[in-house]
Structure 1
Amino acid sequence: MSLLQPYFQQCPSAFTPAFSISTPCPSIYISVSKRTFISCCSSQSQTAVVNGKLDARIVERDEIRIGLPSKGRMAADTLDLLKDCQLSVKQVNPRQYVAEIPQLSNVEVWFQRPKDIVRKLVSGDLDLGIVGLDTVSEYGQGNEDLIIVHDALEYGDCRLSIAIPKYGIFENINSLKELAQMPQWTVEKPLRVATGFTYLGPKFMQENGLKHVMFSTADGALEAAPAMGIADAILDLVSSGTTLKENNLKEIEGGVVLESQAVLVASRKALIQRKGVLDTTHEILERFEAHLRAVGQFTVTANMRGSSAEDVAERVLSQPSLSGLQGPTVSPVFCKRDGKVSADYYAIVICVPKKALYKSVQQLRAIGGSGVLISPLTYIFDEETPRWRELLSKLGL
């Protein structure tokens, strides 16, 4: 970094290298197959290098910026989630990188590569973003300015995992401990790992006592690297594991570096210093929580005879699948008989998960329920979402 320091002093808005690795263990090496360029660009961000780290200050602008993935399955699923939460993204031209969410005032949507979303959150060019936890962990590198606002958006599920060949010297190796104890790995001949995660990989190996390891990047599918003889193992994202099996590779016990899915991440500085960011984050978080909590839940309504609401409630609560979120709602159903208004029936309303739906209907019938109506839930709003309290606690507010 010493050779780059004068450049950063001349051009404070220069991009940082694609990745920066610090390896306290001298036996862990990182070999990068692609050249890294540093270029100067025009930006409103105020950046500086302090003790070798990028220091971002709040950017002087009025609009709130949210970064979304620009391509792939993650991009499509993110837009679907926002639409389900009544936060549809309005994009005039699909080739444009800037859009808006009409329901959120003074908000700009910027479509970016996931890793660039994380970098621009750190630099102050974005305030909020939706990316995979693996991307935040790899490119955020533990930066304290990055705050995970929602850690489980329930899509983009995968795991960052070590995989080795099923054959040869690895045939009987089934755990990370066994891999580390193999006598083949020395300073002169380290374990060669092909990966795109050149921060999380070395960090994980160091924490687990693997001393003689060399990491390298590779173009194209990493699964081919062991068969081609350019790597002994790979460290890559795995969803179903089918691709690994088709290439005669296997995951090993203790070799999962990170469980990942889509998360909502924010800049701490933006949340505290930029007007409107905290309120906008609160609204997005509440919409996400209400929708995700309602997924797979149904409202079940039925009528039941009873002498009182308490009598009906007691019969309902005697069944294990009929308790609902906080208990059943029981209210009188009024009808007119012989010129008089009376309540011979009571209406029961409960919330039931999909997997227990039919069983709940059976239990309702067993205690005298009739006229059962079922409808899917769209939102379940709590009085206050726990994640909002956690966010305020992280911010010291």
Structure 2
Amino acid sequence: MAAVLELHASPRVHGSSFSLVLPRRFRSSISCCSNDVAVRPLVLTDAEQRSVVRLGLPSKGRMAEETLDLLKACQLTVKQVNPRQYVAFIPQLSNLEVWFQRPNDIVRKLQSGDLDLGIVGFDTYCEYGRGNEDLMIIHDELGYGHCRLSLAIPRYGIFENINSLKELAQMPHWTDERPLRIVTGFTYLGRKFMEEKGLKHVRFLTADGALEASPAMGIADAIVDLVSSGTTLRENNLKEIEDGVLLESQGVLIANKKSLIQRKGLLDITHEILERLEAHLRAAGQFTVIANMRGNNAQEVADRVLSQPSLSGLQGPTISPVYCKRNGKVTVDYYAIVICVPQKALYKSVQQLRSISGSGVLVSNLTYIFEEETPRWRKLLSELGL
């Protein structure tokens, strides 16, 4: 940890002395003379070390908005006292600070231990994490921010009939004196990809934003950039090529491995975040379907329901008696069927229920599906050796 030194020069002293102000957490022995200053900070005590857990979130753009939306859907609404401040909190998680940062800074500060948890795109994690052993992915499929990091070339000129990485590599145009120029903000992943694919005579140029214009301006021959729909590439007369995708990306939850082991309370917070995320994401696109079905007993009804391929639910249907009063007596003529159905199979499931005498079908969205234990939590503990 670096100490910030404030040097206060006095106008009455001709360079022979000055005052040195250190942060209070440093206990130092200082000697001053005209030529040297000796500072010997002591090691911070446990009480002086940071105890609050820090979560880094993207500060701007679509990724920031979708991250906040996901957390809100998990009942983890981020609250800012002042929208101009970089720090916020989540009422449901005590002893947690939320820090809004640029995605690349989130990765860097996780490596340094200034943050404990962070949400970024997988592409950002790979580019700036660079295989650092202190970083680990806690959840690799947050379900938003989908894109791919791709190599794209012009549709015209010498590239008109080039449609694969192999054809690009075999072009005679590239030499040591005239390499293939690729402009990108992902120089680490770009170089790694080209080396793995055996492409020689390649030079990378760094740039941020509006990369699609570079080939037309003559600045570069190709680009490596994030692609979602591909519309921007087509509008700028560029094309992706076969085998030219460096990686597929979406939002991921990452952490500092040492912090997970050493930071008090971090594992508990991580467990709760994981459970909320898993429960919400598992329920996405799922519906609860309830129907009444006439039958003599629950076993008979269960046999009829399970004879249909789309009506098994998560582990199987829940079947309960429906009580009614007839001629002064309580009887059971119907049974209520409760199943979980994915959206894509919803109408087919309703048809199958009707075919086996299901009636009064009710459909509602599912918000959460909690497992007995979160699979990713078990995996995390195993990776940490806990």
TM range (shorter): 0.7 to 0.9
Please list, as runs of the form range in 1=range in 2, the aligned pairs for 1:51-70 lying within 5 A after superposition. Answer: 60-70=49-59
Q: 1:173 aligns with which of 147, 156, 162?
A: 162
CA distance in 2, matches of 1:235, 1:319: 49
Confirm whether residue 386 of structure 1 aligns to residue 375 of structure 2. Answer: yes
Aligned to 2:207: 218
What value does the CA root-mean-square deviation take over the aligned residues? Answer: 1.9
Superposed CA offset, 1:281-333 (max 9, x none)? 01000100100111111100011111111110111111111111111111111
CA distance in 2, matches of 1:292, 1:146: 23
Aligned to 1:261: 250
Confirm whether residue 239 of structure 1 aligns to residue 228 of structure 2. Answer: yes
Aligned to 1:201: 190
Q: 2:147 aligns with which of 139, 158, 170?
A: 158
CA distance in 2, matches of 1:290, 1:237: 29
SS in 2 for 1:322: coil
Do the aligned partners of residues 137 and 219 (structure 1) sit closer, same or farther apart at CA in structure 2, a change above 3 Å counting? Answer: closer
The one-letter code sitting in structure 1 at the alignment partner of 2:206 is T
CA distance in 1, matches of 2:318, 2:124: 44
The one-letter code sitting in structure 2 at the alignment partner of 1:372 is V
Aligned to 2:108: 119
Confirm whether residue 331 of structure 1 aligns to residue 331 of structure 2. Answer: no
The one-letter code sitting in structure 2 at the alignment partner of 1:88 is T
CA distance in 1, matches of 2:236, 2:205: 19
Deviation at 1:230, TM superposition (A): 1.0
The one-letter code sitting in structure 1 at the alignment partner of 2:303 is E
Please list, as runs of the form range in 1=range in 2, the aligned pairs for 1:28-177 lying within 5 A after superposition. Answer: 60-177=49-166
CA distance in 1, matches of 2:278, 2:3: 37
The one-letter code sitting in structure 2 at the alignment partner of 1:135 is T
Contact conserved, 2:184 with 2:208, CA < 8 A, in 1? no
Aligned to 1:25: none
Contact conserved, 2:185 with 2:208, CA < 8 A, in 1? no
SS in 1 for 2:187: coil
The one-letter code sitting in structure 1 at the alignment partner of 2:276 is R
CA distance in 2, matches of 1:396, 1:176: 41
Ranges in structure 1 where 5+ consecutive residues have no aligned partner: 1-10, 15-41, 45-57
Superposed CA offset, 1:147-174 (max 9, x none)? 1000011111111100000111111111
CA distance in 2, matches of 1:220, 1:297: 38
CA distance in 2, matches of 1:62, 1:320: 52
Superposed CA offset, 1:326-383 (max 9, x none)? 1111111122223322211111000011111111111111110111111110000011
Do the aligned partners of residues 219 and 129 (structure 1) sit closer, same or farther apart at CA in structure 2, a change above 3 Å counting? Answer: closer
Aligned to 1:347: 336
Please list, as runs of the form range in 1=range in 2, the aligned pairs for 1:293-312 lying within 5 A after superposition. Answer: 293-312=282-301
CA distance in 2, matches of 1:310, 1:177: 61
Aligned to 2:37: none
Confirm whether residue 360 of structure 1 aligns to residue 327 of structure 2. Answer: no
Deviation at 1:13, TM superposition (A): 7.5
Deviation at 1:12, TM superposition (A): 5.0
Ranges in structure 2 where 5+ consecutive residues have no aligned partner: 5-22, 26-45
CA distance in 1, matches of 2:220, 2:213: 9
Percent identity for Structure 1 against Structure 2: 78
The one-letter code sitting in structure 2 at the alignment partner of 1:127 is D
Superposed CA offset, 1:50-80 (max 9, x none)? xxxxxxxx99211000000000011110110
Q: Which moved more, 1:274-283 or 1:355-364?
A: 355-364
The one-letter code sitting in structure 2 at the alignment partner of 1:235 is V
SS in 1 for 2:364: strand
Q: 1:279 aligns with which of 268, 272, 284?
A: 268
CA distance in 2, matches of 1:60, 1:210: 48
The one-letter code sitting in structure 1 at the alignment partner of 2:91 is P
Higher relative contact order (CA 8 A, sep 6+): 1
Corresponding residue pairs, total: 348
CA distance in 1, matches of 2:297, 2:311: 18
The one-letter code sitting in structure 2 at the alignment partner of 1:389 is R
Aligned to 1:20: none
Larger Rg: 2
- Runs of 4+ in structure 1 off by over 6 angstroms are none
SS in 2 for 1:108: strand
Deviation at 1:219, TM superposition (A): 4.9
